[in-house]
Structure 1
Amino acid sequence: MLDNQIATSLPYKLYRADQVRDNERTAAENSGCDMFALMQRAGASVFRQSEQLVPDAQSILVLVGQGNNAGDGYIAATHFKNAGKQVVLCAVEPERELNGDAGRAQAYWLSTGGKIETYSNSYLEQADLVVDALLGTGINSAVRKEFSLIIDNLNASDVAVISIDVPSGLDANTGQALGQCVQADVTLTLVGIKIGLTTGAGKQFCGKLAFDDLGIGKAFKSLAKSCASVLTIEQFDSMKPRNINSHKGSYGRLLCIGGNKGTAGAIRLSSEAALRSGAGMVRTYVHSSSVVQVSAGRPELMVTDEGLEKALEWSTCVIIGPGLGQDDWAEEAFQMALKHCQHHCKPLVIDADALNLLSKQATAYTINDCILTPHSGEAARLLGVSVEDIEGERFNYARQCAQRYHALCVLKGAGTIIDNESTTWVCAHGNPGLATAGSGDVLSGILGALLAQGMSTELACKYGVTLHAKAGDEVAETYGQRGMIASDLFAAVRNLLNQ
């Protein structure tokens, strides 16, 4: 399989599938073409992408259903045939005559001498490349048996797969499989990038994401308002050079609270990440049993197990949660920190166990500059739903979390989502190597450091998430994904910050 990624050359706006369906005809008309011409462009684009995916492929299997997605497949099959490839086109219902533009595409394929076959595993075994045009964005219920059997066979094979618009069986809005779903090597999405392809399971199923606006992008964007934006590191300007006469106090006083008995590592990672991300001074408040473990080998950290109230008064912003625990010591620190930040309007990053404590509160805390960084399990507890609910509708629940707590919500995972109650962003960077103990603690440290240096909460959130994920990609590119540990990110983060 190819690496799972969104190319940095893609547009940054994301749309729901219904937005594309409702506006593409008008956008085409406003651009001087009709829907069949658009289908012809789509088929040609599939052919070009396939040539890039498997340049020497000679045997092509095209799998089609009954909708417009099938029409794109018929046109693509014609291009392969005209290029001298051996093309087998299999339809789920080979005797069915399609209607509308898909019917025209089907008739065009037949007029060139093409045949419509019944699917057989033998065709799959002989193929160098499969074009998936079984199901499009209109699917909203469980995949039918006749499709699911083909999808299962396809996923069990080693043949390269390019899916048209969305992998068949994927909900284009949520990114969840509707039963079986094609695991594509490349997904060529058309007219507008579908939001479900960028996060959670959708990011896995689509493989490498490619895009073609089919020549109507400008007209489409004038009609449809995007529902989210993609974040890449290239969108952010470099941080300004530091003033020559600056001092450590110029770059913030960050207080990190956590490190209960037996869990010193998490707050150490957050604190050191904050130092490596440019915070001027970092003080760490921990349980008395964790002082030595946190301070050992990192004398730049000011570590204390007493005087939390004074430490809070000293700070300009706060991180709470890594290794905090949920016992009486943790509860006392949590209540004191949240009341202080609420009363003094200090930026606050709430992570890990502090999120679990927050979910148990009878009354809501409202802090003007607050970032919540839940993974799906923590988000489920914050919202009183299941993890499956969260992963099934990541965009919806990121918005609900932001609205319930009046905070910026960072819903971590494949395609981390940021939501500020009204606007949504998705991080394009990141890889499975970041699924390692302490990775989230490093992220909270980065966010705290950017806040300490005076960034707005929204910018710190967007840049910090992107920086963390891109650092993971840099480490993976050099050393590989397996074996990555959280502290490996420090050097990469520092390097990216200074570019």
Structure 2
Amino acid sequence: MSTLSTSSLRPLYKAAQVRELDRRTIASGIDSFALMQRAASSAWHSFRSRWPQARSVTVLCGSGNNGGDGHVLAALAMQAGLKVQRLSTKPLAALTGDVAKAAGLASAAGVGFDEWQPATTLVGEVIVDALLGTGLAGEPQGNIRQAIEAINGAHQPVLALDIPSGLSADSGAVLGSAVVADGTVTFIGDKIGLHTGDAPAYTGEIDFRPLGVKAQAFFDIPPTAWRLDEALLADAFAPRSRISHKGNLGHVLVMGG
């Protein structure tokens, strides 16, 4: 590790650190709704690069900012000519702030809306999980948990926004029930919980989108960990000679209690 430059590694952050990065970015003059639109646009590009032939999508939105990203993505999908099924765990009238603004933008774009019910059939060729973000502290309950189970019970591929719903952003632990995604597009700072614990079985391929935020410029928010890049392995583990002897390859001492 000491021989590696941090420029060749990816910094990983805890959820509270990413929220602080988000707060400071907004405080620096970037409108919070504009940042939400930027995230949704990045997620839409990620969606299109993975499923370029998809002609329909189901977007399940929660009541937080993660759901707001989903509403804006639904609008972008509609504008691109896809058939969009937009579902929310809360009625439109119960939404507030940027999430309500995002939902209104989707409605203005002609996207239909239904409140999610357990009997709802998810009809899109691809499902977008925009139920929960990184602030989850306990197990998902009620209709959120039912929606997670419905996503996992469907046969369509899934794109999770920021983190698969139900997964801890700090540990990678499954908090009761979590979405099993084929891909996850995550924003601003890569989360340590996307790479640890149970996460590899739930995230699918991770697409990190910094949204123009230079996280490492905030020196007082040091990364919790650094992610090794696969490309570094070739230098770290050079090919061995076919006639090498174990005594020529170094020694290791392991002491255990």
Q: CA deviation at 1:238?
A: 3.7
Alignment of 1:243-392 (within 5 A): 281=247, 317-318=251-252, 348-350=253-255, 358-359=256-257
Are residues 1:88 and 2:85 paired?
yes
TM-score, normalised relative to structure 2: 0.86
Contact 2:167 2:174 in 1 (8 A): yes
Of 187, 206, 209 in structure 2, the residue corresponding to residue 209 of structure 1 is 206
State the partner residue of 1:110.
107
3-state SS of paired residue (1:159): coil
State the partner residue of 2:3.
none
3-state SS of paired residue (1:63): strand
Contact 1:25 1:34 in 2 (8 A): no
Amino acid at match of 2:216: K
Of 92, 98, 102 in structure 2, the residue corresponding to residue 101 of structure 1 is 98
Whole-angstrom distance in 1 between the partners of 2:159 and 2:234: 35
- 1:195-236 per-residue CA deviation (whole Å, 9 max, x = no partner) reads 0110221121111111100111x2x22222111011124236
- 1:305-334 per-residue CA deviation (whole Å, 9 max, x = no partner) reads xxxxxxxxxxx844xxxxxxxxxxxxxxxx
Whole-angstrom distance in 2 between the partners of 1:275 and 1:89: 58
Of 8, 11, 14 in structure 1, the residue corresponding to residue 12 of structure 2 is 14
Change (3 A) 1:23 1:238: closer
Are residues 1:178 and 2:175 paired?
yes
State the partner residue of 1:244.
none
Change (3 A) 1:226 1:277: farther
Of 65, 68, 74 in structure 1, the residue corresponding to residue 62 of structure 2 is 65
- Determine which structure has more spread, i.e. the larger CA radius of gyration: 1
Alignment of 1:77-226 (within 5 A): 77-119=74-116, 123-124=121-122, 126-216=123-213, 218=214, 220-223=215-218, 224-226=221-223
- 1:263-313 per-residue CA deviation (whole Å, 9 max, x = no partner) reads xxxxxxxxxxx9869556279xxxxxxxxxxxxxxxxxxxxxxxxxxxxxx
Q: CA deviation at 1:145?
A: 2.1
Whole-angstrom distance in 2 between the partners of 1:178 and 1:233: 29
State the partner residue of 1:33.
30
The structure whose residues are more often helix, as a share, is 1
Contact 1:61 1:123 in 2 (8 A): no
Q: CA deviation at 1:80?
A: 0.3
Contact 1:94 1:116 in 2 (8 A): no
| Percent of aligned pairs sharing the same letter | 34
Contact 1:167 1:187 in 2 (8 A): yes
Amino acid at match of 2:24: T
Contact 1:65 1:92 in 2 (8 A): yes
Amino acid at match of 2:67: A
Of 21, 24, 31 in structure 1, the residue corresponding to residue 22 of structure 2 is 24
3-state SS of paired residue (2:198): helix
- 1:44-96 per-residue CA deviation (whole Å, 9 max, x = no partner) reads 11111111222111121000111000110011000001111111110111244
Amino acid at match of 1:181: A
Change (3 A) 1:277 1:21: farther
Amino acid at match of 1:222: A
Whole-angstrom distance in 2 between the partners of 1:46 and 1:24: 17
Unaligned segments of structure 1, at least 5 residues: 1-9, 242-273, 284-315, 319-347, 351-357, 360-499
Whole-angstrom distance in 2 between the partners of 1:108 and 1:197: 30
Backbone CA RMSD of aligned residues: 2.6
Whole-angstrom distance in 2 between the partners of 1:105 and 1:277: 64
Q: CA deviation at 1:136?
A: 0.6
Change (3 A) 1:23 1:282: closer
Contact 1:275 1:281 in 2 (8 A): no
Contact 1:134 1:147 in 2 (8 A): yes
Contact 2:78 2:110 in 1 (8 A): no
Q: CA deviation at 1:114?
A: 2.6
- 1:353-374 per-residue CA deviation (whole Å, 9 max, x = no partner) reads xxxxx32xxxxxxxxxxxxxxx
State the partner residue of 1:409.
none
Contact 2:9 2:228 in 1 (8 A): no
Whole-angstrom distance in 1 between the partners of 2:81 and 2:121: 18
Whole-angstrom distance in 1 between the partners of 2:37 and 2:230: 35
State the partner residue of 2:44.
47
